[in-house]
Structure 1
Amino acid sequence: MPADAQKRWGLTVPLTGVPLRDHRALISSLFELGYTDLWSAEVAGADAFTPLVLASEWDQRLRLGTAVVPVHTRGPAALAMSAAALADLAPGRFVLGIGASSETIVTGWNGIAYDPPFARTRDVLRFLRQAFAGEKVDGSFDSFTINRFRLEKAPEVPPALMLAALRPQMLRLAAREADGAITNWLSADDVRQVRAELGADKELAARIFVCVTEDAEMARNIGRFLIATYLTVPGYAAFHDWLGRGTAMKPMRDAWAAGDRNAAMAAVPVEILDDLIVHGTPEQCRTHINRYVENGLDTPIIAALPTGTNLVDTARALAPH
């Protein structure tokens, strides 16, 4: 953990099924409940920036972060402009998390070529460093060329830059050139392996999927769907091979590749479900999340999963105090 880091406790926004406009009362109360951070995502719901723009006006204390903005789906200049605007709204409180996303999102959904993910992420990171410093960026990177771009107004406090990182190469890039790394779909014990690659002096954040219910089978069934959907994506499959779960996940992957979604979900081992989906009472969930922190995670980012209860109440119940 960075020497000057405070104990952090983050929440993913927007909450599933809760309209953005209905988040104001919750966000305004989170700091008093002990939350320190709000982190957005960008898949097929809200974009990464809009929820944080709203949050910047509803609370002036929470740190705001994107986890993550894909590096392929916006041009480097457009990404820099959006980030600079949010940094201006929340000076010193904004973290720009960027990552390679997946070929499904980049090419399948956006019709954009999926450039080699490591090179694209590295080049966008380097471009952003220059742009946020107010420099004129002019020249060739390995994956794109920029001609004479300068932000009209560079942020007074440049945002911290963090990389989505699942395996050693990207974690080491984050250690060398970024302010930290963001990961997800890992267990509390996996944190040690990830931290060893990142090093001790950079921030490590992770999205943790949390199901507040004492019905363990309900939580596992939610987890079966999510794990079969996400962890068959090549990047996540390779991540879990590295973490040592390749053999345990092979029956799930084989069924998924054969087109049998139900068999794939049924093949997810219970121990993997209980490792990757935090579930139980609010107190049990907080205890499990704190195991991640004890193993080297700086910033837990809670993603509350819907179980039929009000997720606003769930978010409040999961507060650290």
Structure 2
Amino acid sequence: MSRWGLTIPLTGVPLTEHAALVAELPALGYTDAWSAETNGTDAFTPLALASQWAPELRLGPAIVPVYTRGPALLAQQAATLADLAPGRFVMGIGTSSDTIVQRWNGIPFEEPYKRVRDTLRFLRAALAGEKVKQDYATFSVKGFKLEQAPAAPPPIVLAALRPGMLRLAAREADGAITNWLAPKDVRRVRGELGDEPELIARLFVCPTDDAEEARAIGRWMIAAYMTVPVYRAFHEWLGRGEALAPMNEAWAAGDRKKALEVIPDEVVDDLIVHGSPAACRARIREYVANGLTTPVLAVVPGGGLSPADAVRALAPSND
């Protein structure tokens, strides 16, 4: 059976109210819990809690930006989670976006490929217990050594949306993380990553039979993401540039209403998993059949289900 992950925390549910549901996840067939870091919780705190709530789960951030913490602090946080979840923690790093890094944190979003590469190489050394004294292309480290390195260094996976980063993940990391793709897109991604590395993808899942409800929600989400340069370039590479051009033009002109209206239904249906819970589970398995190793569900409220009930309805144990 493939892995079956869940994004935590759930939208609209306070972190303090997750304990019982997270503890239930292994019995429901979930194997993984992955956090995120945008403008809600940080990436590490939910995983630290989940490590105690459900000791069976594999845990990982998808992803931690390489800019918003110094390299040594990233190593410390990864080592802490590896200690809390020995053999069950995966470190996910990536560039994030210019919005998060530069506009929100005031940090220049410069040389993203090199910054990820350098951070990966630093973390490999630091998490292996080495004393690092190195001038990398994008930063320098002068004699850092973890007080207590993990007994087994955690795997490191990279957020990768296009060929350059996917090839870096294949060469130097333990896998790649992607999102906002259709089942048919997995083969394109695999073409750059290769068949062996783990491929993880966050899938936005709205369990509702009301297609218009799902599409209305999906349009807002697509407009928010696909107008960001890194995602716009990703979908141009995947072949959706023409389909999304009217949205991007309207958005650039400041017409948000029109930008939503001109997103084609087929694009929403490609990128948002929706339908009955059984139909959603079948759609998720299409991704796996096309080469996805680890689907990570991001539950989008819909269909009248509470977030917890949606998690239960989408569980692989129902098949």
**TM-score greater than 0.5 by the shorter chain:** yes
* 1:94 counterpart residue number: 89
* 1:225 counterpart residue number: 220
Q: One-letter code of the match for 2:58?
A: R
Q: Secondary structure at the match of 1:189?
A: helix
Query: Superposition pairs for residues 116-127 of structure 1, below 5 Å?
Result: 116-127=111-122
* 2:310 counterpart residue number: 314
Computed over aligned residues only, the root mean square deviation of the Cα atoms, in angstroms, reads: 0.7
Q: Confirm whether residue 303 of structure 1 aligns to residue 298 of structure 2.
A: yes
The CA deviation string for residues 121-145 of structure 1, in whole angstroms up to 9 with x for no partner, is 0000000000001001102000001
What is the distance in 2 between the residues matched to 1:20 and 1:158?
28
Query: Superposition pairs for residues 4-19 of structure 1, below 5 Å?
Result: 7-19=2-14
Gaps of 5+ in 1: 1-5
The CA deviation string for residues 220-259 of structure 1, in whole angstroms up to 9 with x for no partner, is 0000001011001110011001001101110000000001
Q: Secondary structure at the match of 2:206?
A: strand
What is the distance in 2 between the residues matched to 1:262 and 1:116?
34
What is the distance in 1 between the residues matched to 2:118 and 2:257?
40
What is the distance in 2 between the residues matched to 1:157 and 1:54?
21
User: Once the two structures are aligned, what percentage of the paired residues are identical?
Assistant: 63
What is the distance in 2 between the residues matched to 1:309 and 1:59?
24
What is the distance in 2 between the residues matched to 1:273 and 1:227?
8
TM-score normalised by length of structure 2: 0.98
* 1:54 counterpart residue number: 49
What is the distance in 2 between the residues matched to 1:53 and 1:262?
40
Query: Superposition pairs for residues 200-215 of structure 1, below 5 Å?
Result: 200-215=195-210
What is the aligned length? 316
Query: Superposition pairs for residues 234-273 of structure 1, below 5 Å?
Result: 234-273=229-268
What is the distance in 2 between the residues matched to 1:46 and 1:89?
19
List structure 1 segments (4+ residues) > 2 angstroms apart after TM superposition.
none
What is the distance in 1 between the residues matched to 2:134 and 2:245?
45
What is the distance in 2 between the residues matched to 1:314 and 1:268?
26
What is the distance in 1 between the residues matched to 2:110 and 2:70?
13
Query: Superposition pairs for residues 38-187 of structure 1, below 5 Å?
Result: 38-187=33-182
- Structure 1 residue 269: Cα displacement: 0.6
The CA deviation string for residues 69-113 of structure 1, in whole angstroms up to 9 with x for no partner, is 000000000111011001000000000100000111001101111
What is the distance in 1 between the residues matched to 2:29 and 2:51?
17
What is the distance in 2 between the residues matched to 1:301 and 1:195?
17
Gaps of 5+ in 2: none
TM-score normalised by length of structure 1: 0.97
* 1:190 counterpart residue number: 185
- Structure 1 residue 309: Cα displacement: 2.9
